[in-house]
Amino acid sequence: MPDIHYIDRTELRDGRIILYKNSQLKKQKNWQMRLLKPDGGYLTRSTKTPSLGEAASIAEDCFDEMRDNVKKGLPSSTINFRELWIRWIRLQGDHLKDKRRKSVFSQMELYFLPYFGTIPSPK
């Protein structure tokens, strides 16, 4: 994300955590966080608070959790149900018979993904 969208940019932990307000969101009062992932790339989310102190605390907790997950061999950030489904089908899909695979795909696409798709998976 270019710097042009940052308003009130604040850096923590040598720039690995960036707190800002997004200039493209007109009525945005809450702080956004951009965290450098240990495995590369960024995680960008809302802190859901207009307080800079609370936003810093939330961002640091999320950053620490991400770092701890990598040390434990877990994904650096949470994945949603849809991403978990995609990972599972890549690993297990070949072991299903054609009729069973069609049934699983049909039920997943019709019922489960529309309802659970964006819900974060449990740890």
User: What are the pLDDT digits (tens) for 48-63?
Assistant: 899 999 999 999 999 9
Q: Predicted confidence band at 122 (pLDDT cuts at 50, 70, 90)?
A: low
C-alpha span between 110 and 53 (Å, rounded): 43
C-alpha span between 68 and 13 (Å, rounded): 16
Residue 35: the pLDDT is: 93
Q: Which residues contact 111 (CB under 8 A, 6 or more apart)?
A: none
Dihedral (CA of 85, 87, 89, 92) sign: negative
Q: What is the mean pLDDT of residues 83-100?
A: 83
Residue 121: the pLDDT is: 66
3-state secondary structure of 122: coil
C-alpha span between 107 and 77 (Å, rounded): 27
Q: What is the pTM of this model?
A: 0.62
Quick check: 67 and 98 in contact, CB under 8 A?
no
Q: Which residues contact 18 (CB under 8 A, 6 or more apart)?
A: 6, 9, 10, 11, 12, 33, 34, 35
Residue 70: the pLDDT is: 82
Answer yes or no: is pLDDT of 40 > 60.
yes
